[in-house]
Amino acid sequence: MSFFEQILALLVRYYPYFLDGVKNTLIISALSVVLGLFSGTLMAVMRMGRIKPLKWIAVAYIEFIRGTPLMVQLMFIFYGLPMIGITFPDVSFIPNFSRFMAGVVAMSMNSCAYIAEVIRSGIQAVDVGQMEAARSIGFKSGESMRLVILPQAVKNILPALGNEFVTVIKESSIVSVIGISDLMYGTNGVIAITYRSLPALAIAAIMYFIMTFIGSRLIAILEKRMNHAR
């Protein structure tokens, strides 16, 4: 049996493993980016703010998260927090909910640091006169940021946010080490059953490529529409 025939045979017989893994990978990635976007926006505003203690906290968080491996962060969340009495609750109708939440929290915390820097650069790219104009018509500082600056910054940072989503999809494979049934976990399950590692890994690589390619194309289409709307 040729290599491509082995890939086809594994895909036909064990496609539920791979499809279930793709579903969980997309869910984890989407939740991580959404949570990272909200927390990253807050972190960027804190870093650019005038309240020095909040600014120091934001700088320390961003530098620490960006300077440590995601694997260490994941292990700390999953194994370290329970040691100090912080645990994720189990939900009876969602299998391995505590593991799932640990993975999402670790991924979103990591994504937050990178998105914060992306948003900060996007905000700084907006002309300073926009803030002055908003303040001159009666907007407060928070309202000016929320209603005037951030909407313009989003257009500038959309490509970088799309790249972050693609990166999170690929990096999410690390959650398999704590038993979350993502695509990599399902692939390892197929390898354990069939002992055919290379064809199974080839299927996983193809599926990761399909997810990231589709994500990149969707972001590109959205970016073109926003540029056209200008």
User: pLDDT means per 10 residues in the chain (230 residues)?
Assistant: 85 90 92 91 87 92 93 91 80 73 92 90 77 74 74 77 87 89 91 91 94 88 70
The residue whose two tokens read 């976990």 is 185
Range of the domain at 101: 3-229
Residues with Cβ within 8 Å of residue 170, at least 6 apart in sequence: 208, 212
State both tokens at 171.
């990096």
Q: What is the pLDDT of residue 112?
A: 93
- Helix-helix angle 52-66:97-125, to 10 degrees: 120
Q: What is the pLDDT of residue 137?
A: 76
Q: Into how many domains does the chain fold?
A: 1
Beta carbons within 10 angstroms of residue 212's beta carbon = 18
Q: What is the pLDDT of residue 35?
A: 93
CATH of the domain at 58: 1.10.3720.10
Indicate the pTM of the whole model.
0.83
Identify how many contiguous H helices and E strands the chain contains and give both numbers. 10, 0
Q: What is the pLDDT of residue 154?
A: 75
Nearest residue to 96 via CA among 20, 16, 191: 20
- Helix-helix angle 3-48:97-125, to 10 degrees: 60
SS3 of 156, please? helix
Nearest residue to 109 via CA among 156, 146, 72, 145: 72
Which burial class, exposed, middle or buried, applies to 199 when counting CB atoms under 10 A from its CB (0-12, 13-18, 19+)?
Answer: buried
Q: What is the pLDDT of residue 93?
A: 59
Dihedral in degrees, nearest 10, Cα atoms 101, 104, 107, 113? -100
Q: What is the pLDDT of residue 208?
A: 94
Residues in the chain: 230
